[in-house]
Chain A
Amino acid sequence: MTILARRRSIIPGFGITLGYTLLVLGLVVLIPLSAVFLKSAGMGWEAFADVAFSRRAWAAYRLSFGASLLAASINLVFGLTTAWVLVRYEFAGKRVVSALVDLPFALPTAVAGIALTALYAGNGLIGQYLEPWGVQVAFTPLGVVVALVFIGLPFVVRTVEPVLQDLGADVEEAAASLGASRWQTFGKVIFPAILPALLTGFALAFARAVGEYGSVIFIAGNMPLESEIAPLLIVIQLEQYNYEGATAIAVVMLVASFALLFAINLLQAWSRRRMA
């Protein structure tokens, strides 16, 4: 195939650039990742299941996936609202707001983690108003959701924004001229058109949240069975030099991540077909 590609193009460098790409990809990403699977394969099913599906691990998965699902859902609603407002309306400071949306991409997760903890702790800027109502956010599973909402927002906004932008005004005008109310136009014309992008953004936010560590560990209570996320469980196993245990949990997480990645790719293919 190398020869084929060379023959079709007069541009040089195919062999060397592709070769270097594959070499580095293999050394930095693929071989190290495969180490996880090879290591766990050597464990035997019993030993693997003992750690990977222990009561504590199940609780951690439940929290990681449950909180991620909840956070991604919240971001679905507010991310769509934000994208809509940024694309459709004019208001003072719009450019600043638009830049700010990317803050979670740029702000180190540990910084986000301690800042959110400071805000939501019982004596914090927000926590002090929640405390009297008996609502505890910091050091509870609710805190995990707060942190995951923070890091997930830009995924939804930045996926939906371009699709909303490309949606021709004439399609909405067509709906209006056919007698559709604004709500009907949104529900039957706009929403179905942006649905694939919306789901993609949701899946990206969810996938990121499931693996998130830095922003969560400060605000979560990290109590086993209660407020301990799956990535933290891996770290705890490592700190106890239980490499096999860490690997087993990592395999479960990786399989889930890859399944999500596969789903995201399908969604994006669907989205492209829709917009064709």
Chain B
Amino acid sequence: MSSSTTESRLVRRLLIGIALAFLSFNLLLPLFAVFSEALREGWQGYQAAIIEPDALAAIRLTLLAAAIAVPFNIVFGVCAAWAIARFEFPGKSLLITLIDLPFSVSPVIAGLIYVLLFGAHGWFGPWLDEHDIQIVFAVPGIVLATIFVTFPFVARELIPLMQEQGNDEEEAALSLGASGWQTFWRVTLPNIRWGLLYGVLLCNARAMGEFGAVSVVSGHIRGLTNTMPLHVEILYNEYNFIAAFAVASLLALLALVTLVAKSLLEWRFGRKAVAGH
């Protein structure tokens, strides 16, 4: 940038000052509040809130939901990216829009749709009831809702990446006699692994932190169908603030780890976040 196309030092300072002040108020203070509230009565209360059995159950359920939803969306994302980036077919941009659809749906509606399908009064409700299968207000509903809200993450990272890389290397591998699977494992996957990791990171953060959708399908049964964010809500509504913020601080730590890992990936591989997560 040459000197004729930048602002005076005063204007620069002013703009930096405005941006930093706004970000401090809007982002830094809330983050700080989580930890200061959690530790308000010292380390003891903090520890007690986390090792309490209901909290541990919530942590286990959160990990379980993420452990199912994330791999599911990895498989889906890779498949979708392969079909979309490697082949030409009509309706492709419509397909991409449809894959992104869950991002434009309110999380509450994401929960609602599964209640309408699998709830007691839902389409499949009576049939599920007959066979003694419970989806809504149970773990399967939580997993389904989590899959829905994190559905586009991996696909939308991989599609532009694979489109940019083109077909050359795959075609070279195939012309050298590699099978389709070998080509995927030895050529494609190594090329997309960082983009994939990036998508997984964001997918996981959302999966563990989702609140609205999960809240609708969970039924809020303590120790059984409460994920960490739901447990935070219950504690908070019971005016047990220390415990609520203690569990929240674990989620905030997860967010910080995600941000650090994401920045490292961007810094090393020059990637930029795709807006709209």
Binding site for B on A (CB under 8 A): 1-2, 4-5, 8-14, 16-18, 20-22, 24-25, 28-33, 35-36, 39, 78, 81-82, 84-86, 88-89, 91, 95, 97-112, 114-116, 118-119, 124-126, 149-150, 153-155, 158-159, 161-162, 169, 172-173, 176, 182, 185, 200-201, 204, 207, 210-214, 218, 231-232, 234-235, 238, 241, 243, 246-247, 250, 253-254, 257-258, 260-261, 265
**Which of B46-54, B78-86, B126-134, B189-197 interfaces with chain A?**
B78-86
B68 at the interface (CB under 8 A from A): no
User: In the bound complex, how far is the Cα of B274 from the Cα of A110, in angstroms?
Assistant: 23
Q: Are A155 and B108 in contact (CB under 8 A)?
A: no
List residues of B (82-113) whose CB comes within 8 Å of A's CBs. Answer: 82-84, 86-90, 95, 97-99, 101-102, 104-109, 112-113
Pairs across A and B, CB under 8 Å, 12 listed: A29-B101, A32-B113, A36-B109, A84-B15, A99-B262, A107-B209, A111-B34, A116-B30, A125-B29, A154-B273, A212-B107, A213-B212
A151 to B93, CA, bound (A): 28
CB distance from B73 to the nearest CB of A (A): 9
Nearest first, the 3 closest Cβ-Cβ pairs linking A and B are A108-B209, A211-B106, A214-B211
- Residues of chain A lying within 8 A (CB to CB) of residue B122: 35
Chain A's closest residue to B217 (CB) is A238
Note all chain A residues with C-beta closer than 8 A to B112: 36, 234, 238, 246-247, 250
Given contacts A30-B98, A111-B248, contact A234 B108 (CB under 8 A): yes
Contacts of A101 in B (CB 8 A): 23, 27
Query: Known contacts A172-B5, A231-B108; is A243 also within 8 Å of B119 by CB?
Result: yes
Q: By the criterion CB–CB under 8 Å, are A231 and B212 in contact?
A: yes
B245 to chain A, nearest CB (A): 7
Tell me if B104 and A89 are in contact (CB < 8 A): no
Inter-subunit contact A5/B263 (CB<8 Å): no
Is A243 a contact of B115 with CB atoms below 8 Å? yes
B87 touches which of A18, A28, A124, A253 (Cβ 8 Å): A18
Instruction: Determine how close the nearest CB of chain B comes to the CB of A249; give it in whole angstroms.
Output: 9
B76 and A102 within 8 A (CB): no
Chain A's closest residue to B264 (CB) is A99
- How long is the Cα–Cα vector from A95 to B275 in the complex, in angstroms? 18
Provided the pairs A99-B260, A108-B229, A125-B29 are in contact, do residues A35 and B123 lie with their beta carbons within 8 angstroms? yes
Q: Given that A17-B83, A110-B232, A150-B30 are contacting pairs, would A204 and B117 also be in contact in the complex, using a CB cutoff of 8 Å?
A: no
Asked if B12 CB lies within 8 Å of chain A CBs, one says: yes
Interfacial chain B residues near A258, Cβ < 8 Å:
104
Q: Which residues of B contact A (CB under 8 A)?
A: 1-2, 4-7, 12, 15-16, 18-20, 22-23, 25-31, 33-34, 37, 76, 79-80, 82-84, 86-90, 95, 97-99, 101-102, 104-109, 112-117, 119, 121-123, 144, 147-148, 151, 167, 170-171, 174-175, 180, 183-184, 202, 205, 208-212, 215-216, 228-230, 232-233, 236, 241, 244-245, 248, 251-252, 254-256, 258-260, 262-263, 267, 272-277
Binding site of B, secondary structure by majority: helix, strand, loop or mixed? helix
Chain A contact residues, majority secondary structure: helix
Asked if residues B4 and A173 are in contact (CB atoms below 8 Å), the reply is yes
- Contact of B208 with A238 in the complex, beta carbons under 8 Å: no
Q: Which of B19, B31, B34, B148 is within 8 Å of A32, CB to CB?
A: B148
Report the minimal beta-carbon distance from B174 to chain A, rounded to whole angstroms. Answer: 6
A154 touching B5, Cβ below 8 Å = no
Contact A112 B30 (CB under 8 A): yes
Distance between Cα atoms of A46 and B131 in the complex (Å): 36
Residues of B within 8 A of A260 (CB): 104
Residue among A29, A100, A231 making CB contact with B259, cutoff 8 Å: A100
Bound complex: CA A5 to CA B82 (Å) = 13
B-side contacts of A155, CB under 8 Å: 275-276
User: What residues of chain B lie closer than 8 Å to A247, measured between beta carbons?
Assistant: 112, 116
Instruction: Select which of A17, A39, A250, A253 is within 8 A of B79 by beta carbon.
Output: A17
Contact of B211 among A30, A33, A213 (CB under 8 A): A213
Residues of chain A contacted by B277 (CB below 8 angstroms):
105, 154
